[in-house]
Amino acid sequence: MNISELRERHPTHWMKAAALRVLAMDAVQAANSGHPGMPMGMADVATVLFERHLKFDPSAPDWPDRDRFVLSAGHGSMLLYGLLYLTGYPGMTIEEIKRFRQLGSKTEGHPERHPGNGIETTTGPLGQGLATAVGMAIAEESLAARFGRRVVDHHTYVIAGDGCLMEGISHEAIALAGKQKLSRLIVMWDDNGISIDGKVILSDITDQMARFAAAGWSVHACDGHDPEDIDRALTEAKASTLPAMIACRTHIGFGAPTKQDTKAAHGSPLGPEEIARVREIYGWTSAPFEIPDDIRASWQATGARGATSRAAWEGRLGALSNTRRAEFERVQSGALPARFGKAIAAFKKAQSAGRKAVATRKSSEMVLEVVNAVVPETLGGSADLTGSNNTLTKDLGVFDPENRGGRYIHYGIREHGMAAAMNGIAAHGGAIPYGGTFLVFSDYARGAMRLSALMGARVVYVLTHDSIGLGEDGPTHQPVEHLANLRALPNMFVFRPADTVETAEAWEIALGSMTTPSVLALTRQNLPVLRTRHTNQNLSARGAYVLAEATGRRRAILLATGSEVEIAMAARAALEAKGIGTRVVSMPCWELFAAQDEAYRRKVLPAGPVRVAVEAALEFGWERWLCGERGAGKKAGFVGMRGFGASGPIDELYARFGITAEAVAEKVEALL
């Protein structure tokens, strides 16, 4: 449908959509940066969605039963900000729109998760929004199974561009959604045939409808500028028992006389002349950032539409029994059950006494038996390594279309899709996701892991086979740089527990960290229990602590994590036997140790003694603890990997790479 037809046949719709278009065009011009083309192209789709379908209430942005709207094509952020402003989200004022992309504004270059302002998830890296939305739809089904459709009954809508669909992560996401029959997930594809380099056919000729259909989706198409056709497609999509994709044929930069349908509309201001001509073509006479009263009123009516259904929902929530309502409210708030801490303490006590040597991946499974029994909102899973990651505990049940009450998700061999889905589960709220793969394959998930950290999502990554200790699978599977890589991420706890007790502590911290995701790096090989003296206190919460003190004068401090703490303890025994007083510091979480006050850090790492760190990974990053923190380069050493590992039995590998108690003791003696 062209603009003159639209203006004639749907005048009110046209002006509402034009308001979104003009806001985007003007804000991008004012910021002198941004992406006007996508909002101008998708304004009709967004208007119909918000006016006739989306369940939302700007006066209660965090209403748990709202529909989720995800702008996966995050570069078109002005479309989202315009919608939030026009429908009346209190946090999204015209001042914020005027400050688009400015420091400290709520209108960042790309949407950054802020549910209080109606921004459900962080997008910008293409494809992430779509894959995150899959997790939101999973969480919705899971919560509906737990609490009933009377209080959990919403949809997840996504706007995705060509870029989102070209990214590899989209394949993982749509395949997972198709298998899971996530019928409340609706993806609106901005089918405009243009991306940054020019026409999409420069690089892609995929039949997207056929691709989605092949993955088990219901596929639809519409003229993305015709409100009646958009409405028809959305209505059909909602009626489907499968996830639905709607190919919305649109024109990027709709109405821009020289730039429509070209790459020039994608990512730069249109310029004053083009903007003036667009105003004429649109029939828009208002100045920048001014919305005519009648159009404003019409948008406000759209924003007010959800208040009745929210009131009705409040009534239904109130009609639940007190216990069920309290439980619903607890999981929504993210608070853990009251008995969680006691359960972990009891587990630790039993393990300190029992002293059973197991791999920490097994320790993690043992902890999860406790956690999953006490915390009913966990949703576990693995990227096809369930038996290796030890992520499945008894009685969880498998989440699938026939059993939405199941709490274990077979994510398939889709690390990136799993990580993004977990972000979506966490962002949705009401459930706590954890998922496993090998540590080395965190590379395949990292795009989404970075967003976990940036968004502050409570996601737990169970990453097993954390070193050459995995043995025969060889260097393709042996992480060496991954700990450093993950430690480099801001706002990510990287735990490498040394035994079952530390593993329990890591889980306790991870689940209690509402705004920080966690990695648990776990071994394949057995490790002895080193924390044989029980304390209710979570020692790992300080990041590092003195596990064994020097007897006599302290001349050496050994720093170690995970499986190498055992090696440090053996080295200590050898050194002490020679009269060299040696302290062992276990460092399960660098980030938490770095966050301690200096007095504590100085107590653990005083100046003076030589320091040797041992970790079956690259040295990268250890300088901070060896040379910084009152240390000195000439009194510091590192025992660990220097390059890639090798295929072979574990004992031979540790010897081959010189990660042994003898090597640690020798290094200390050489430094003394």
Ligand X SMILES: Cc1ncc(C[n+]2csc(CCOP(=O)(O)OP(=O)(O)O)c2C)c(N)n1
Site residues for ligand X per CB under 6 A: 37-38, 73, 75, 124-126, 161-164, 167, 190, 192, 194-196, 252, 266
Q: Contact with Mg ion (CB under 5 A): which of 194, 432, 641, 664?
A: 194
Q: CB-wise, 65 or 108, nearer to ligand X?
A: 108
Q: How many CB atoms lie within 10 A of CB 104?
A: 6
| Contact of residue 601 among Mg ion, ligand X, none (CB under 5-8 Å per partner type) | none
Cβ 1 to Mg ion, closest distance in Å?
Answer: 19
Closest CA to 519 of 422, 605, 620, 395: 422
Q: Which tokens is 508 given?
A: 């306790």
Instruction: Point out the residue whose Cβ comes nearest to Mg ion.
Output: 162
Tokens 């996701």, located at residue: 433
Distance separating alpha carbons of residues 149 and 144, to the nearest angstrom: 5
Q: Does 170 bind Mg ion (CB under 5 A)?
A: no
Q: How many residues bind Mg ion (CB under 5 A)?
A: 5
Q: Contact with Mg ion (CB under 5 A): which of 96, 162, 365, 566?
A: 162
Q: How many whole angstroms from its chain centre is CA 207?
A: 29
Q: Which tokens is 453 given?
A: 């950290």
Closest CA to 499 of 534, 459, 453: 534
Q: Which tokens is 571 given?
A: 């080295």
Q: CB-wise, 65 or 162, nearer to ligand X?
A: 162
Residues 535-564 that bind Mg ion (CB under 5 A): none
Q: Which stretch binds Mg ion (CB under 5 A): 113-121, 157-165, 338-346, 359-367?
A: 157-165
Q: How many CB atoms lie within 10 A of CB 303?
A: 21
481 part of the active site: no
Instruction: Point out the residue whose Cβ comes nearest to ligand X.
Output: 161
Distance separating alpha carbons of residues 61 and 34, to the nearest angstrom: 26
Bridge partners (DSSP) of residue 381 are 409
| Contact of residue 416 among ligand X, Mg ion, none (CB under 5-8 Å per partner type) | none
End-to-end CA distance of the chain: 82
Contact by Cβ (8 Å): 588, 543: yes
Q: Which tokens is 131 given?
A: 């894959």
| Contact of residue 124 among ligand X, Mg ion, none (CB under 5-8 Å per partner type) | ligand X
Cβ 187 to ligand X, closest distance in Å?
Answer: 13
Q: Contact with Mg ion (CB under 5 A): which of 142, 192, 360, 516?
A: 192
Q: How many whole angstroms from its chain centre is CA 592?
A: 20
| Contact of residue 38 among Mg ion, ligand X, none (CB under 5-8 Å per partner type) | ligand X
Query: Strand order in 493-495's β-sheet?
Result: 408-410, 378-382, 432-438, 460-464, 518-521, 493-495
Catalytic residue among 51, 415, 566, 615: 415
Q: CB-wise, 42 or 445, nearer to Mg ion?
A: 42
| Contact of residue 196 among ligand X, Mg ion, none (CB under 5-8 Å per partner type) | ligand X
Cβ 259 to ligand X, closest distance in Å?
Answer: 12
121-150 in b/e form (b: 16+ CB < 10 A) is: bbbbbbbbbbbbbbbbbbbbbbbbbbbeee
Contact by Cβ (8 Å): 404, 541: no
| Contact of residue 424 among Mg ion, ligand X, none (CB under 5-8 Å per partner type) | none
Q: CB-wise, 122 or 503, nearer to ligand X?
A: 122
Q: Which stretch binds Mg ion (CB under 5 A): 16-24, 158-166, 167-175, 473-481?
A: 158-166
Cβ 250 to Mg ion, closest distance in Å?
Answer: 9
Cβ 510 to Mg ion, closest distance in Å?
Answer: 38
| Contact of residue 118 among ligand X, Mg ion, none (CB under 5-8 Å per partner type) | none
Distance separating alpha carbons of residues 128 and 344, to the nearest angstrom: 34
Cβ 161 to Mg ion, closest distance in Å?
Answer: 5
Cβ 281 to ligand X, closest distance in Å?
Answer: 20
| Contact of residue 125 among Mg ion, ligand X, none (CB under 5-8 Å per partner type) | ligand X
H or E segment and range at residue 586: strand 581-586
Return left, alpha or beta for 261; rule: phi > 0 is left, psi -120 to 50 is alpha, else beta.
left
Q: For residue 650, which amino acid is it?
A: I
Closest CA to 256 of 285, 229, 237, 282: 282
Cβ 128 to Mg ion, closest distance in Å?
Answer: 16
Q: CB-wise, 82 or 469, nearer to ligand X?
A: 82
**Any idea how long the chain is?**
672
Q: Which stretch binds Mg ion (CB under 5 A): 186-194, 307-315, 610-618, 664-672?
A: 186-194
Q: Which residues make up the interface to Mg ion (CB under 5 A)?
A: 161-162, 192, 194-195
Which residues form the catalytic set?
415
